[in-house]
Structure formats: structure tokens, C-alpha cells
């Protein structure tokens, strides 16, 4: 059932109806669309640990797989999971680029390279949409950092914008994604939600992309400016700038009626396309197997001296596991798209114990596994009838004095609470109000305990009935989101005796804002040096060590970039001391971005696992034991020195401008142009199988479409006694080293195959007031990493 839309109906469709849904016009056959954040799974709208969903490897881990077919399967898994949760559109994939290793959300980016990012993102989109769930590619464009992202202006030249930062979105458009989400920042002076040069002239007119363009949440700034720039949908609802104001702008002559009709039709088309016709979620067993496979496919082995891996217990009969991330892994980063992971997800330590059995003789964390905000393991202050045995009793009051009966009470087994207006029931309290969390803590050791507390308003902490901390500060509504995203907490020391029970009460008083948050934790007596000494002793007494280090989820967050590229100092010290005690150490890193690895040559083996999702434990145990290959190759460059990165600082200047001075020479391209050797090159890494590559040739691709192209052919042979996969990479040499094609190829032991890799004409073009084919002969270099390209062919694209 369809009919023409009225002016008011068209206007209504340009704004969300609620926090996570679009408006509907049932009489015109336009259903509402329900959305959820991504890209690692279906994030619960309430940001609630009880809204469990499947957690996939992070995009940087999928980027490390260099496997488009795998990315498509993972996208299909997420699309099916969205159906399970009643979600029609996923805000994913994230197609921004890891321009700097300091970027706070680099774990959400597939790569520093636009082609690798675009190829994997497009495949993920196809998989997600294959079951009827729409994919909204984000964040258009140049939201490649978090510092002042709501104000900063990305200053980028046209060639760089076209060839680098828009390329992944162009590929997403080619994959027919449902739409695109505009970024918070400005680009070349225009708010991204109003950037006509990007949305209207490039995406709509040049790409002929028919999808919907929506704002990031609260990312609009005007009515006429947004519509004129090409924005179709303001999110979330209720409307602030579009909606009914869109109709008024048309009536005043500020916006052409055809522009409003275009916006409404794009929203309506997406609603009709993705509001029905759903496929089936992936069965649980198949999903778990895929998530384990995908995690291992991204594990990147960059060092393996004396073939230490895979670990053979006949060679290494006594294995020690050391390191904080073995027992407190970082499955994902700390954005608002954080997934509530199933409570029984196997920790790396648990999976290693199950796989290696009696050969795994001990575990020592070495350093505090939760250095910023530790968990508070408590029992509820009172039962609420839900049978839970852990957590805090959380009471929400409609007044700042916490008087009378609470409007809502719940038991929450988390140390970080967030509630949004229109999502969590407590979010309806858009006035001065309060929240109280209470529980009973039992001390496991005697000594000073540090109690942490933070929140979006005035705070009070009581331990054992006594007030031990108070801060009466109140935040202005505009400052609440910044405090919430920072997660900063105060702490106070309290002496407790082992076995002693104390009541813990945390109170938050706040003023009206669209979101609120409260977080807390407790750390028992430490003895940092004693922990380190126990780890050293365990290393000395073992034949081999698995040392698992890395980050916590609050190391990669929204709205904040990192200050440096280093692991925490205590973890670097742990690596150095453990490797000195036992050089037969495998360092497993659980880090979501490029980082300083100058310690790597101290270990016998180094395996980068990125943020690998909920099946981290089983995947790690299987890879270390040799049941699976470590399938990854570097999706980013790790430089020898921070000064070697073409882009490092992400601080805008005094005018709010962040200049993309590296231009098209992002990442490995800039290092190569400057003649600087990386510590770990883009594309590098290896598995347990070994490969030889020879006989490179190039021919015209007769099936390459109207634009023409070439086929690069190489002979690839598995020279080892086990099956494995190699990534054949093709780069153009001019005007700077640039990845133009790749293929991941699996071969059985001893198998040889001719591999044919298409290179599109577009990959040999640059932007010079239009796409211009490179003149003369272009060298294509073929190999297995950006710094290991032994084969070469030449093409002459001019005149094609």
C-alpha cells in the first residue's frame, strides 16, 4: 500500500521518532526502522550488561585477516543477530581510517589503508544485508580521531579526500549499503551533516548513491543548512532541527520542495526495503565456530624464533601463563557501541588450561589486571526477586534529596551505569533527581582498600555507614556527555580486615540532561613489586612462558585519543623482567591499534591478537597449540619511533583546524616515501605454513568491465608440511607506494596454484580536478608485505 506523501508526512520522515527508531507512515506503506549501534555486534539500546549479544572481532582484527569472504560471513552473523534483537538497521561498518596510532577508536577502523578498509567494509555490508538488515556506513567523513570531535575542522585537500578518506565510502556505496551516517566534525569548514561538497555533489550526484544520509546522534546544527547540504534524516528523535521544521523551511522558501521530497523518499525507500523480508539468525553453534575462526584469522604472528610456536608440550612440558590480560582480557573497546558479552565467555586463561592441561603449571598476573576502574564484587543490599547473587541494588529517585520510595529499583552486576532519556526507564527523569547504588563488600585480604567513584553530578560515598567521600559539584547539561565519556574517577583509601563485610553506598545527585552515568569500583591491597616478583619466579621455573599483555576497554574510548603509543609502564617492565628470567617467552598482545613494540626482540615469539571478540580464549588456545593457523597480516604500520608516523598528533590548532598534512601519504605510504623502515610493516606477518611466490605476469582483464583493468598473475606454492594461507599483495610504485589489489589464498601442504588478482583501472588513477590516469609506464610490485615486494610487472594505462 503506497500513496503520495503530504508535506507534513514528508517533513515527519526527516527526523527520528525516538532515540533508536524512525517515524512511520503506515497509510503509505512506510514502517518504522529500529536501529542499533555497531560495528562489533548489536549494542543494547540501554547500554546494559543484561542485554547480551554476540561480540565479533573488532574491525582492526577483521582488517588483520585481509579476508573479504570472512568479513562477509561476519557481517551476515551480525545481520542475523540484529534480527534476533528486532533491529532493522545497524550503524556499521566504521569506514574511518587509522591515520594516527593515537586515535581513540582505531580499534573500530579496519586499517590505515583505504582499499583494505573499503574492501572489507563492503564485504561486511553485503553479508549484513543478505539477511535483510540494513548497514549504515559511518562516519562520513574524516572522523579519524576523537579529540574535540564535536568542534574540530578537518582540513584536507581534494586529492587526499577523494583518494583516501572517501574511497571506503565509495566502495560501501558500490555495495548498496542502506545509508551513511555523517560525522560530528567539520570538513573543510562545513559541518559533516551540512557538507554539500561531500554528500550532495560527490555521494548523491557523482556516485548516484540512492541511500539515506542520517546524522550521528545530536549531530545536526541547522534546518535549511542540513537539508541543503544533503542530509535526509536527523537522529535521534524527537526532532530538534528537522521534522516539522523541514516543512516550515519549505513554506518559507528556504528549502525547495523537491529537496524535502528527496529526503523523505530516501527514508521511505530504506523503510520499505529493510522493514520486512528478514532472514534467520545464525544458529548458536555455527556462530561460535565462526567467531573462533574469525578471531584466529586476525591473530598476527610477527616473530617466531627457533619455531617456538606452535607450542609442543613434549618440547615445553612446563608452561607458565603470566600477564593481566590472560584473566582480564580486552574483548572490545569502550565506546557507546560496547556489547554486553555472554557471562560464560571463556577467558584466555581458562581456555589455555583446558587445552594444555597439566602442562600449564601456574598463572601469575604480574601487574594489576584492572588498573583504572576495578570491578566491585559485591552482593546486593537487598533482594529484588530476580535471583541474582552478585551486584549492587540500584534505586532511582525523582528528587535530589533521595526522599521517599524510589521510582525504580534493579540489581545490576556492573561497575558502570549509564541511562539515556527515552531508552532506560530512569532516563525519563529530565529534572533534578538522584540515584543510589548499594551493596555489601567482603574483603579478601587485610590492608588498605581503594574505593573509586565517578559520575555526572554530585557524589557521595559511604563505606560501613560512614561518609568517606563527597563532591557537591553539579554539571551543566552540555558538560555531562564529556564527563560520561571520560570515565574519570576519584578514590579514597579504607583499611579493612580480611573477611570483614562492609556496606557500600554510592549516591549521585544530578540536574536535567539527556543522559547520566555512575561508576564505582574497589581495589584490594596490592603489593605491585610482590606481584612482579611472583611472575619472575614463575617464569624461571617454567620451560616456556605465555605472557598475555595489553589494554583494558577504557584504553580505547569515544571522544578521547591516547596520549602516547606505549603500553602501560608496568606492563613493559613485566615483559622485560619475564623475558630476562626466561627468554623462551611468547608475548601475546591484546591491543587494538598500532603501538610501541621496541621490546619485541626480547621474546622468542610475538603474536598480536588485537581486540578479538568473545571467542578470544578458545582461538588463542587453538592457535598457540597449532590446531589453527595464526592467519593475520598487519592492518596498520608499527613504526620504530613515534616521529616516523606521517601523522601522530591529533590536537587541533587554536582555530579548531586539524590539518591532514600527510595528504595521501598515510601510514606505510609516508614511511616508504621518506625512506624510513618500519618496525612491523603494513601487510607483514606469517603463519606456521610457509610459501614461495614466483613468475609474476600481467595481462589485460577482458572481463574487467567498461573501465578496463588488468590481471596480475603469480604462482604461489605452499612449501611446508601443513595447510595455510598467504596474502598476495599488489602495490603501485608511483606516485607513492599504494596498495592496489590483494588476495588471501589458502593452499594445502605442498600445493601450488596460479593466482589471478584483478587490478582495476581506477587503482591507477589520481585526482587532479577529476580522475586522471597515471601517465607512462606504472610499476606494479608484488609480494607479501609493503616492505617485501620482490616481484614486479609493468603496465601502461594511458590510452586505455
Q: Catalytic residue numbers?
A: 216
- Interhelix angle 284-298/68-84, rounded to 10 degrees, is 140
C-beta separation of 118 from 170 below 8 A: yes
Positive or negative, the Cα torsion across 763, 764, 768, 772?
A: negative
For 701, the grid coordinates are 582483464
C-beta separation of 414 from 521 below 8 A: no
Contacts with 180 (C-beta within 8 Å, 6 or more apart), sequence order:
136, 137, 138, 140, 169, 172, 173, 203, 209, 211, 212, 213, 214
Kindly state the DSSP code that residue 336 receives in the 8-state scheme.
T
Query: Measuring CA to CA, how many Å separate 36 from each of 46, 130, 139, 546, 647?
Result: 10, 17, 15, 37, 32
For strands 515-523 and 319-322, give the pairing. Answer: unpaired
Give the 3-state secondary structure percentages of the chain, helix then strand then coil, rounded to 5. Answer: 25, 30, 45
Integer Cα distance of 105 and 117 in angstroms: 15
* DSSP E strand stretches across 480-638: 490-496, 501-510, 515-523, 544-550, 585-590, 605-608
**Among the listed residues 768, 774, 761, 724, the one whose alpha carbon sits nearest the alpha carbon of residue 744:** 724
Angle at 782 between CA 778 and CA 785, to 5 degrees: 125
For strands 657-659 and 153-155, give the pairing. Answer: parallel
**Among the listed residues 216, 196, 191, 220, the one whose alpha carbon sits nearest the alpha carbon of residue 206:** 196
Classify 312 as helix, strand or coil.
Answer: coil
Helices in 230-333 by DSSP H: which ranges?
244-251, 257-274, 284-298
**Among the listed residues 123, 171, 100, the one whose alpha carbon sits nearest the alpha carbon of residue 763:** 171
C-beta separation of 393 from 439 below 8 A: yes
For 380, the grid coordinates are 546486593
- For the chain, the first-to-last Cα distance in angstroms comes to 49
C-beta separation of 78 from 92 below 8 A: yes
Query: Measuring CA to CA, how many Å separate 20 from each of 34, 76, 150, 211, 339?
Result: 6, 21, 21, 18, 16
Amino acid at each position: 500500500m503506497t500513496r503520495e506523501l503530504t508535506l507534513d508526512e514528508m517533513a515527519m520522515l526527516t527526523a527520528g521518532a525516538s532515540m533508536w527508531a524512525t517515524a512511520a507512515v503506515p497509510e503509505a506503506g512506510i514502517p518504522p526502522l529500529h536501529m542499533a549501534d555497531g560495528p562489533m555486534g548489536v549494542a543494547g539500546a540501554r547500554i546494559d550488561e543484561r542485554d547480551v549479544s554476540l561480540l565479533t572481532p573488532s574491525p582492526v582484527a577483521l582488517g588483520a585477516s585481509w579476508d573479504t569472504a570472512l568479513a562477509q560471513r561476519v557481517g551476515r552473523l551480525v545481520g542475523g543477530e540484529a534480527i534476533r534483537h528486532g533491529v532493522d538497521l545497524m550503524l556499521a561498518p566504521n569506514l574511518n581510517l587509522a591515520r594516527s596510532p593515537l586515535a581513540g577508536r582505531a580499534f573500530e577502523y579496519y586499517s590505515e589503508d583505504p582499499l583494505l578498509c573499503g574492501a572489507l567494509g563492503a564485504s561486511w555490508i553485503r553479508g549484513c544485508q543478505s539477511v535483510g538488515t540494513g548497514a549504515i556506513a559511518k562516519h562520513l567523513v574524516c572522523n579519524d580521531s576523537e579529540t574535540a570531535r564535536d568542534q574540530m575542522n578537518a582540513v584536507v585537500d581534494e586529492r587526499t579526500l577523494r583518494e583516501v578518506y572517501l574511497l571506503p565510502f565509495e566502495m560501501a556505496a558500490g555495495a548498496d549499503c542502506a545509508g551513511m551516517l555523517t560525522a560530528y566534525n567539520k570538513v573543510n569548514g562545513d559541518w559533516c551533516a551540512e557538507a554539500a561538497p561531500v554528500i550532495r555533489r560527490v555521494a548523491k550526484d557523482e556516485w548516484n548513491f540512492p541511500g539515506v544520509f542520517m546524522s550521528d546522534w545530536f549531530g545536526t546544527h541547522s534546518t535549511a543548512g542540513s537539508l541543503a547540504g544533503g542530509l535526509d534524516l536527523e537522529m535521534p528523535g524527537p526532532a530538534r532541527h528537522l521534522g516539522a521544521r523541514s516543512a516550515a523551511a519549505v513554506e518559507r522558501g528556504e528549502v525547495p520542495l523537491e529537496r524535502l521530497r528527496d529526503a523523505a523518499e530516501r527514508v521511505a525507500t530504506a523503510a520499505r526495503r529493510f522493514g520486512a523480508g528478514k532472514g534467520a539468525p545464525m544458529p548458536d553453534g555455527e556462530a561460535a565456530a565462526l567467531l573462533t575462526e574469525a578471531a584466529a584469522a586476525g591473530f598476527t604472528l610477527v616473530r617466531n624464533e627457533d619455531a617456538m610456536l606452535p607450542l609442543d608440550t613434549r618440547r615445553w612440558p612446563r608452561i607458565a601463563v603470566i600477564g593481566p590480560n590472560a584473566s582480564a582480557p580486552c574483548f572490545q573497546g569502550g565506546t557507546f557501541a560496547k556489547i554486553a558479552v555472554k557471562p560464560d565467555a571463556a577467558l584466555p586463561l581458562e581456555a589455555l588450561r583446558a587445552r594444555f592441561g597439566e602442562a600449564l603449571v601456574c598463572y601469575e598476573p604480574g601487574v594489576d589486571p584492572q588498573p583504572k576502574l576495578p570491578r566491585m564484587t559485591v552482593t546486593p543490599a537487598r533482594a529484588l526477586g530476580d535471583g541474582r547473587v552478585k551486584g549492587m541494588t540500584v534505586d532511582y529517585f525523582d528528587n535530589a534529596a533521595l526522599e521517599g520510595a524510589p521510582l525504580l529499583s534493579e540489581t545490576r552486576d556492573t561497575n558502570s551505569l549509564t541511562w539515556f532519556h527515552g531508552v532506560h526507564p530512569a532516563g525519563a527523569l529530565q529534572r533534578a533527581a538522584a540515584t543510589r547504588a548499594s551493596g555489601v563488600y567482603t574483603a579478601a585480604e587485610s590492608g588498605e582498600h581503594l574505593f573509586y567513584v565517578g559520575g555526572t553530578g554530585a557524589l557521595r560515598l559511604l563505606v560501613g555507614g560512614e561518609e568517606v567521600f563527597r563532591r557537591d559539584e553539579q554539571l551543566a547539561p552540555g558538560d555531562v556527555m564529556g564527563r560520561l565519556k571520560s570515565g574519570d574517577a576519584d578514590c579514597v583509601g579504607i583499611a579493612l580486615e580480611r573477611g570483614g563485610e562492609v556496606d557500600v553506598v554510592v549516591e549521585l545527585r544530578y540536574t536535567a540532561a539527556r543522559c547520566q552515568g555512575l561508576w564505582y569500583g574497589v581495589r584490594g591491597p596490592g603489593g605491585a613489586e610482590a606481584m612482579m616478583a611472583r611472575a619472575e619466579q614463575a617464569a624461571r621455573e617454567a620451560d616456556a612462558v605465555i605472557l598475555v599483555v595489553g589494554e583494558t576497554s577504557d584504553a580505547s574510548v569515544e571522544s578521547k585519543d591516547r596520549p602516547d603509543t606505549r603500553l602501560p609502564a608496568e606492563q613493559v617492565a613485566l615483559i622485560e623482567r619475564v623475558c630476562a628470567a626466561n627468554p623462551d617467552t611468547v608475548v601475546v598482545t591484546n591491543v587494538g591499534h598500532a603501538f610501541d613494540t621496541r621490546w619485541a626482540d626480547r621474546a622468542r615469539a610475538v603474536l598480536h591478537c588485537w581486540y578479538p571478540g568473545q571467542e578470544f580464549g578458545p582461538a588463542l588456545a587453538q592457535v598457540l597449540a597449532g590446531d589453527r593457523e595464526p592467519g593475520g597480516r598487519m592492518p596498520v604500520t608499527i613504526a620504530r619511533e613515534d616521529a616516523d608516523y606521517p601523522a601522530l598528533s591529533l590536537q587541533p590548532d587554536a582555530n579548531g583546524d586539524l590539518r591532514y598534512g600527510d595528504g595521501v601519504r598515510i601510514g606505510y605510504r609516508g614511511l616508504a616515501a621518506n625512506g624510513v623502515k618500519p618496525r612491523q610493516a603494513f601487510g607483514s606477518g606469517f603463519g606456521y605454513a610457509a610459501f614461495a611466490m614466483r613468475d609474476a605476469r600481467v595481462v589485460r582483464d577482458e572481463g574487467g568491465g567498461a573501465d578496463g583493468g588488468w590481471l596480475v598473475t603469480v604462482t604461489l606454492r605452499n612449501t611446508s608440511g601443513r595447510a595455510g594461507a598467504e596474502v598476495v599483495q599488489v602495490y603501485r610504485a608511483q606516485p607513492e607506494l599504494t596498495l592496489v589489489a590483494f588476495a588471501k589464498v589458502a593452499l594445502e601442504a605442498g600445493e601450488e596454484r596460479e593466482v589471478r588478482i584483478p587490478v582495476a583501472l581506477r587503482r591507477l588513477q589520481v585526482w587532479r580536478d577529476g580522475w586522471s590516469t597515471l601517465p607512462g609506464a606504472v610499476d606494479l610490485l608484488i609480494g607479501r608485505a609493503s616492505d617485501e615486494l620482490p616481484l614486479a610487472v609493468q603496465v601502461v594505462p594511458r590510452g586505455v
